[in-house]
Amino acid sequence: MTTTYEDIPDVYQRLPEVKSRDDRSLREKLHSMWETTPGIRGWLSTVDHKEIGLRYLVTAFIFLIAGGIEALVMRIQLAGPNAHVLTPEQYNQLFTMHGSTMIIWYAFPVLSGFSNYLWPLIFGSRDMAFPRLNAFSYWVFAASGIFLYTSFAVGAAPDAGWFNYVPYASKPYNPGINIDFYCLANIFMGISTTAGAINFIVTTLRTRCPGMSVNRWPIITWGTLSANAAAIFAMPVVSLAFFFLWMDRTFGTHFFLPSGGNLTGHPLLWQHLFWMWGHPWVYMIVLPAQGIVSDGLPTFCRRPLVGYTAVVLATVATMILGFGVWVHHMFATGLPTMAMSFFSAATIIITIPSAVQVFSWIATIWTGRPVFTTAFLYFASFIFLFVIGGVSGFMTGVVPVDWQLTDTYFVVAHLHYVLIGINFFGVMGGLYYWFPKFTGRMLDETIGKINFWLTFVGFNVGFFTMHITGLLGMPRRVYTYPAGIGFETPNLITTIGAFILALGILAFIVNVAYSLRRGAIAGNNPWDAPTLEWSVSSPPPPYNFAVIPSVASRHPLWEARLQEGDGESVLDRGPILDDHHETMGVSPMDGEPDVILKMPGESYMPFVVTLCISALFAGLLAHIWTLAGVGAAVGVIGTIVWLWPRLEAGERMVAES
């Protein structure tokens, strides 16, 4: 039996009562209804997107620090020629863990943290579309990271690079369990990314406030939506590749090895599958950060973003084109010239949508009145660093030039300008921007300026120099280098720069510790910013909005001053939705109110199922098949308990009607 729109019970379509948002009894009722249970029980069972968002941010930042420490140890080894601080094997484990940690366990989750915390607030909603799935994706992220780092504890961290090329990563050349850790941890993390992606997509399309039509979404939601829509297509490819490799290593299948008799595999299959995911992933970890800049920069320039529509189209176009450039990682593998020509053109053309964003930000500065806060400095420097990372990417898109540049330090410089310049600098700006919303206190501006200048100077000293190291011909992924061919000075400068950058991050941590206690009280809207998250208290109440707002423009808090939009946004009165956990469901494009959604409450099941999956992966790793079987079976039972229809939520009524 299919459920049609007419079958939806009245409880979802009742005309809700309208009240003022200042109604004290309403606020108290909602508070007790939405508040996370205190103590360890609430800690394990909460589904509050704000709690989960902060956990994402803090956990991702811990991975940033772990990956950063790995980098600093490598920089000590590389500070001089022929050094013996690390053995080759230790170095290989460190650079593999550094890459995996930063790219997979820091760069994407940190953006998911922002999106988790902010989306319901930006969209005028009370939670993500699937709150329990949200909790689950966090637990899996944390558990998979712990799983990965267990490899250090047993002295067998992955050592074939984050790109993990076979046959070096295959059993004959890499017999330890290092690469099994790598394969399984990545599949494990893929579960989190996929669950999160589904949640973000449905949240965008469904749980917004009335009037939040497609042309009014802040750019960060476009960036995150594009990234997560891409994840739905990209993650299965690479998860399958990790699984194939694990099969090759565990059961002797021949997906990637060329020596399988009639059923022979091919090492390049790995590279195709890896980069088919890997390059879209690069855009996935920068587009939401670019969204942070597109939303944050205008606030400090005192004007709306220039060219909203162009930037939205550029964001989506980048993500789509991003699926057509992966072969530029493989120009030196002997592919036909015709194929390389296509991917080279795509790589060069993808510069255009990026240029749209850059010129939009420049225009926003030139036609606005910038105020030099720390957040603004991060956003403005982001533009500059984006251009450096962009042009070096354009250079490597030119095939014959790439044959020289690839696998040298030039590419190391390029990718760090992408990952630090276009992810980390956006994240730092975003943290300075939204910290008051997260905590109710401002980050200190004086420490902030020190923090900014240390990171900006340290980063550029260290990593701009790497371009030169690359042009001098230093190959990547070498644990040491000889003296006398010009590599000593640039490497020493890079090491010094890396430590200055690390000091800058330390200054940020000091600032957070100081400002959590001593920071100025923020108030609802300390930056006089335009979007809905700034209309509620800082930090927001557990239910976000006492009454569901309705918006009539892209900038609800600026519209009166800008004479923008048709009609007027209404934030102080609205539907109260106080029959258990409820929020508004709207039509995907126009944001017309459609249905009242019943939202689930706290549950231990996301945590329990994560424990079961951890047991499953531990069993697969150690070849304890009983443990894997028990983990899988209990996990299935846990999922059934999680999804069991509950009378109070009315699902059964749908089924019976």
| Binders in 129-168 for another protein, by CB under 8 A | 160-161, 165, 167-168
Residue 363 in contact with another protein, rule: CB under 8 A: yes
Residue 373 · residue 432 · CB < 8 Å: yes
Residue 404 in contact with another protein, rule: CB under 8 A: yes
Structure-token pair, residue 340: 């390389």
Three-state DSSP at 172 gives coil
Peptide bond into 588 cis (omega under 30): no
- How distant, in Å, are the alpha carbons of 333, 438, 511, 527, 640 from that of 442? 51, 10, 10, 10, 44
Which CB atom, from 571 or from 597, has the smaller least distance to another protein? 571
Residue 12 in contact with another protein, rule: CB under 8 A: no
Interatomic CA distance for residues 654 and 595, integer angstroms = 14
List the interface residues with another protein, window 482-501 (CB under 8 A): 482-486
Structure-token pair, residue 453: 């200048």
Least distance in angstroms from the C-beta of 405 to another protein: 8
List the interface residues with another protein, window 527-556 (CB under 8 A): 527-528
Which CB atom, from 394 or from 453, has the smaller least distance to another protein? 394
Q: Residue from 119, 130, 479, 508 that binds another protein (CB under 8 A)?
A: 479
Q: Say how far residue 488 (Cα) sits from the centre of its chain.
A: 36
Residue 79 · residue 493 · CB < 8 Å: no
Which CB atom, from 164 or from 603, has the smaller least distance to another protein? 164
Which CB atom, from 204 or from 354, has the smaller least distance to another protein? 354
Helix axes 445-471, 488-518, angle to 10 degrees: 160
Least distance in angstroms from the C-beta of 195 to another protein: 32
Stretch that binds another protein, among 108-116, 304-312, 578-586, 602-610 (CB under 8 A): 304-312
Residue 593 · residue 586 · CB < 8 Å: yes
Q: Residues with Cβ < 8 Å from 637, sequence gap 6 or more?
A: none
Stretch that binds another protein, among 240-248, 327-335, 450-458, 546-554 (CB under 8 A): 327-335
Which CB atom, from 258 or from 567, has the smaller least distance to another protein? 258
Which CB atom, from 475 or from 567, has the smaller least distance to another protein? 475
Structure-token pair, residue 352: 């255009």
Other CB atoms within a 10 A radius of the CB of residue 17 amount to: 12
Residue 87 in contact with another protein, rule: CB under 8 A: yes
Structure-token pair, residue 529: 């910013």
Interatomic CA distance for residues 158 and 96, integer angstroms = 6
Three-state DSSP at 187 gives helix
Residue 342 in contact with another protein, rule: CB under 8 A: no
Least distance in angstroms from the C-beta of 138 to another protein: 33
Which amino acid is it at 18?
A: V
Stretch that binds another protein, among 204-212, 245-253, 386-394, 616-624 (CB under 8 A): 386-394
Residue 89 in contact with another protein, rule: CB under 8 A: yes
Residue 395 in contact with another protein, rule: CB under 8 A: yes
Stretch that binds another protein, among 215-223, 334-342, 497-505, 627-635 (CB under 8 A): 334-342
Q: Residue from 85, 202, 313, 398 that binds another protein (CB under 8 A)?
A: 398
Structure-token pair, residue 354: 């990026």
List the interface residues with another protein, window 436-465 (CB under 8 A): 442, 445
Q: Residue from 152, 233, 384, 642 that binds another protein (CB under 8 A)?
A: 384
Residue 316 in contact with another protein, rule: CB under 8 A: no
Residue closest to 491 by CA, chosen among 423, 421, 413: 413
Stretch that binds another protein, among 17-25, 106-114, 369-377, 595-603 (CB under 8 A): 369-377
Three-state DSSP at 378 gives helix
Interatomic CA distance for residues 550 and 383, integer angstroms = 33
Residue 362 in contact with another protein, rule: CB under 8 A: yes
List the interface residues with another protein, window 17-56 (CB under 8 A): none
Contacts 24+ apart (CB under 8 A), 198-201: 198/130, 198/133, 198/228, 198/232, 199/128, 199/129, 199/130, 199/133, 199/134, 199/137, 200/112, 200/115, 200/119, 200/128, 200/224, 200/225, 200/228, 201/225, 201/228, 201/229, 201/232
Which CB atom, from 130 or from 433, has the smaller least distance to another protein? 433
Least distance in angstroms from the C-beta of 55 to another protein: 29
Residue 365 in contact with another protein, rule: CB under 8 A: yes
Least distance in angstroms from the C-beta of 262 to another protein: 14
Residue 644: CA atoms inside 13 Å, Cβ hemisphere, count? 9
Residue 204 in contact with another protein, rule: CB under 8 A: no
Residue 561 in contact with another protein, rule: CB under 8 A: yes
Interatomic CA distance for residues 616 and 45, integer angstroms = 21
Interatomic CA distance for residues 402 and 418, integer angstroms = 17
Size of the residue set binding another protein (CB under 8 A)? 99
Residue 352 in contact with another protein, rule: CB under 8 A: yes
Stretch that binds another protein, among 19-27, 85-93, 179-187, 590-598 (CB under 8 A): 85-93
Residue 343 in contact with another protein, rule: CB under 8 A: no
Residue 77 in contact with another protein, rule: CB under 8 A: no
Interatomic CA distance for residues 313 and 321, integer angstroms = 12
List the interface residues with another protein, window 258-297 (CB under 8 A): 258-259, 264, 266-268
Least distance in angstroms from the C-beta of 226 to another protein: 19
Which CB atom, from 28 or from 528, has the smaller least distance to another protein? 528
Least distance in angstroms from the C-beta of 344 to another protein: 6
> Where is 284: in which H helix or E strand?
helix 267-284
Which CB atom, from 462 or from 591, has the smaller least distance to another protein? 462
Least distance in angstroms from the C-beta of 395 to another protein: 5
Peptide bond into 236 cis (omega under 30): no
Residue 302 in contact with another protein, rule: CB under 8 A: yes
Stretch that binds another protein, among 178-186, 406-414, 570-578, 580-588 (CB under 8 A): 406-414
C-alpha gyration radius of the chain: 25
Which CB atom, from 174 or from 614, has the smaller least distance to another protein? 174
Q: Residue from 473, 567, 629, 645 that binds another protein (CB under 8 A)?
A: 473
Residue 625 in contact with another protein, rule: CB under 8 A: no
Torsions phi, psi for 574 (to 5 deg) = 175, 180
Least distance in angstroms from the C-beta of 182 to another protein: 14
Q: Residue from 213, 392, 423, 515 that binds another protein (CB under 8 A)?
A: 392
Ramachandran region, residue 39 (left: φ > 0; alpha: ψ -120 to 50; beta: rest): left
Alpha helix ranges (H) inside 302-424: 308-321, 337-349, 351-366, 374-397, 399-405, 409-416
> Beta partners for 598?
582
Residue 614 in contact with another protein, rule: CB under 8 A: no
